[in-house]
Structure 1
Amino acid sequence: MDLLVWIVFFSLIGGLLSVGFAAGFLLLSQQARSHAVPYLVSFAIGALLGASFLGLIPHAIEHEFAVEAHSLGLTLLLGLLSFFLLEKLVLWRHCHSHHGHEHIPELGHDHHDDNAHQHHGKAAGPLILIGDTIHNFVDGILIAAAFMTDVHLGIVTALAIAAHEIPQELGDFVILLHSGYSRKKALYFNILSSMGTVIGAVFAYFLLAEMEQLLPYVLVVAASSFIYIAVADLIPGLHSRVRPSETLQQTLLISAGVIFIYLSHSMMH
């Protein structure tokens, strides 16, 4: 199969699957969703860390364009710092701030909001959509870079992205509904936003084809984004659940995410 077809297919399927799963979760009760999200987040943490340390970083080091390990290490550190700054500028945070938290606002619940709060709720919808599209565009670049290095790595990267997109999309759906969007309209705009992944992937494919020597650095930046999301955004949310049984569940699910990536990568090779 042509490489560009692989890239477009997995960029499209990953985005649509995450939106579809999130939309399906909206059919569950508020209590069921609040109960399920931490489990999804734990698995996503393992998938992101597994893709970073078992896939992206090793492939960057072993890439045909030999790059000094210290340069890649510096790129990784700069990537982590950059995502910290982006989060401070509220260009990244909205995508993950609802993960791992027990409470998810429910449409139709009587909040007795004042006018200022209602206005803020309506403004949140467009902000979420703009930020989500930017986030999806970046994800597309990462998927394309992974596929251009190795098809198997591309598939693993797309799977890891899809795993953490599901709880993200669920949070985004709830915010859109709370902002006054109908379920049909929220689904439509989320699907439209997910097309940002395909656009980013195609853009990166043609750009990186001319600058293939940059691929190892792009892979490390991808790893830094996955590590930052897992460690800075997702893991802190799990600390609100401190009972030994909950900690054991989280550890097992994180391990399951790592094993899922490891087996996916091993079977493809």
Structure 2
Amino acid sequence: MTLLYIVLATTFGSLLSVVVAASLTVAVLGRLVKSLVSLSAGVLLGTALLHVLPEAFEGRDPQVLFATLLGGLLFFWLLEKAELYRHDHHHDGDGHDHHHHTDAERAGRGGLSVLVGDSVHNFCDGVIIAVAFIADPALGVVTALAILAHEIPQEAGDYIVLLNAGFSRRKALLFNALSGLAAVLGGVLGYFLVGTWDEVLPYMLVVASSSFIYVAVADLLPQLQKRLNWGETFTQIGWLGAGLGLVLLATAGLHSGHAH
């Protein structure tokens, strides 16, 4: 049953994020991405710090687990340096301080590099979902929802970059969907690899947390550090708080259901 949950969660998450990205116009996506970046920052930080890490640290040596957390953060930093763990939330007209047609130029240098990076990222997400489901089904659901919250703005950004690279809407959708299926592969491999070694589970949970913390702190929060008026600032804080609230609600609801 655990493997079935993992396959369903990874497939649903991958396809839903691609469909949402493809079904909206570029202008609507631009506005939506801003709100979703704040929301997903809250969801990822809440899931990592309030849910996954406490589960991993139960009755274990904190020094070794903190060393694992440090190693995980450095690992994802190096992956991003190699452009294999990219986060495409930026696009023309989104208010970021880059010159005109930045994305068209970047995508023109290789829409394929976007797809390769996205596939590696999705594969890692699949492994993370598998690890969480093996530890606890409730943890798996919360983790899958956290990844979905982050995937929608990321897939929207990827979709826009591919359109700027000259891909047709259908082709961009197809390639995005194929790269999304890397999450299913990661989930299945994660289930068979981690499931056979129970003792590595806490460390894998910490690595999963390091992924969430890295994405939130290195990518999402810096995007929110723009000079804004008070209204926009409160909106940002509201979406971030909503992300944290969603995690707390999901955690409380799932665990009370789990207890019964």
Q: Deviations over 1:84-122 (max 9, x none)?
A: 222222222x32452898259xxxxx96x9xxx988643
Match of 1:176 in 2: 162
Match of 1:74 in 2: 67
Aligned-residue offset at 1:74: 1.0
Do residues 224 (structure 1) and 210 (structure 2) align? yes
Where in structure 2 are there 5+ consecutive unaligned residues?
256-260
For 1:174 and 1:195, the matched residues in 2 are separated by 19
Aligned-residue offset at 1:21: 1.1
Decide which of 81, 95, 98 is 1:88's aligned counterpart. 81
Aligned-residue offset at 1:132: 0.7
| Aligned residues with identical type, % of pairs | 45
Do residues 20 (structure 1) and 19 (structure 2) align? yes
Write the mapping of 1:1-269 to structure 2, written as runs, cut at 5 A. 2-25=1-24, 27=25, 30=27, 32-62=28-58, 66-92=59-85, 94-96=86-88, 98=90, 102-103=94-95, 121-269=107-255
Q: Deviations over 1:248-267 (max 9, x none)?
A: 11111111001101101110
Where in structure 1 are there 5+ consecutive unaligned residues?
105-109
For 1:240 and 1:99, the matched residues in 2 are separated by 16
- Call closer, same or farther: CA 1:101–1:54 in 2, change over 3 Å: farther
Aligned-residue offset at 1:243: 1.8
Aligned-residue offset at 1:180: 1.2
Where 1:210 maps in the other structure, the secondary structure is coil
For 2:123 and 2:134, the matched residues in 1 are separated by 17
- Call closer, same or farther: CA 1:74–1:119 in 2, change over 3 Å: closer
2:68 touches 2:207 (CA, 8 Å); kept in 1? yes
- Call closer, same or farther: CA 1:82–1:97 in 2, change over 3 Å: farther
- Call closer, same or farther: CA 1:137–1:99 in 2, change over 3 Å: farther
Q: How many pairs does the alignment contain? A: 252
Q: Which runs of 4+ in 1 moved over 4 A?
A: 117-120
- TM normalised by structure 2 equals 0.90
Aligned-residue offset at 1:124: 2.4
